[in-house]
Amino acid sequence: MRRNKGEKVNLFVAAFIIFIVIGGSLFLGNKIVFRSNFLKYVKKTSDQTMVLKKEIKVTYFKKNYVIILSTPEGKNEELYANCFEEKIGGLYYVPSYSASQGKCKSLYGAICNFMNNGTDDKFIVVYGYNKDYMASSYSVESTLNQKPQAKDISKEEYFLDTYEDIDYGKVFFQDKNNEDITPLFIRQ
């Protein structure tokens, strides 16, 4: 079966792109991550075997991201959040931001992922561990209208959400009776 010239050119271009990506990943080391290697990357950077707890895909400012929440094996309260920016339609990813709580025993955290080199373009990731399903919801405050936005987490052991216009430090947790239990999530 003979291939026409156009098919040969397309095959050559595809092989060349794959060669560049593989060669670049070997050359750049930790700067490129493949979709199947997110946990391997986190294990390498944290020096621990990790377990994936939550994963979300988001798009901000025409850029696609995958955000994962993981914990070391057997350490449910030690949270690691990592953002990966998608490149070439998901062919590979570049780590864009990460946070680890280490020995801190706070049951939630937030990270601010800045984009576009120093502009105020950003999104905020709120993540945590709803130990024993203590919280029925959490709320964040909008910077646009100062009104709270509530998120139901009553059935979630781990939560992972993104926001654009919220006040970074204002996250409040409520139990099923709408009582404030924020101090339980900020243990040191």
108-114 and 80-87 strand pairing: unpaired
Cβ atoms within 10 Å of 128's Cβ, excluding its own: 28
Mean pLDDT estimate for the chain: 84
**C-alpha span between 1 and 52 (Å, rounded):** 47
**C-alpha span between 73 and 76 (Å, rounded):** 8
Q: What is the pLDDT of residues 14-67, one digit of tens each?
A: 777 777 666 655 555 557 888 778 888 888 888 888 999 999 999 988 899 999
Look at 110 and 24; give whichever has higher pLDDT.
Answer: 110
Share of the chain above pLDDT 90, in %: 37
Share of the chain above pLDDT 70, in %: 86
Tell me how far the alpha carbon of residue 51 is from its chain's centroid. 14
| Predicted local distance difference test score (pLDDT) of residue 48 | 85
Spell out the residues 6+ positions from residue 48 whose beta carbon is closer than 8 angstroms to its own: 72, 73
**C-alpha span between 66 and 9 (Å, rounded):** 32
Q: Calculate the alpha carbon distances from 98 to 12, 23, 41 in Å.
A: 37, 25, 11
The region that residue 88 occupies, defined by phi over 0 for left and psi between -120 and 50 for alpha, beta otherwise, is left
**51, two tokens:** 């377990």
Instruction: Indicate the pLDDT class of residue 140, thresholds 50, 70 and 90.
Output: very high
